[in-house]
Amino acid sequence: ELKVEQNPLFLSMQEGKNYTIYCNYSTTSDRLYWYRQDPGKSLESLFVLLSNGAVKQEGRLMASLDTKARLSTLHITAAVHDLSATYFCAVGRNRDDKIIFGKGTRLHILP
């Protein structure tokens, strides 16, 4: 059974600091997603990683994938308050659209 574990689940950090969210998954997967969710809102797609060694960056966020270790990371550089949200990683397989989500990391960035 495909399982996804994220850590930490809660993160409070100061503006300007760097931090990393980790996502481990249990079995082979074809794609790895990172989503952002603001309170009361839907999911916003941040990154989709499809192959080993893939790295994608958007602004202060950078995601990477190591399929051999079944590990993805979301790195936050010089955090700003606007990045406060819950971040989910999720994995899926090409044969269908079923996505298995991690529990999410609630990120709170203090001014």
How far, rounded to the nearest angstrom, does the alpha carbon of residue 83 sit from its chain's CA centroid?
A: 13
Print the binding letters for residues 4-33 with other proteins: x by CB under 8 A, - otherwise.
--------------------------xx--
Min dist CB 76 to other proteins, Å, is: 21
Give the whole-angstrom CA distance, residue 102 versus residue 9.
Answer: 10
Burial tier of 69 (Cβ tally within 10 Å: 0-12, 13-18, 19+)? exposed
CB of 42 or CB of 68, closer to other proteins: 42
Stretch that binds other proteins, among 13-21, 40-48, 55-63, 70-78 (CB under 8 A): 40-48
Q: Closest Cα partner for 3 from 107, 75, 101, 73?
A: 101
Q: Under the rule (CB under 8 A), what is the footprint of other proteins?
A: 30-31, 41-45, 48, 50, 88, 90, 94-104
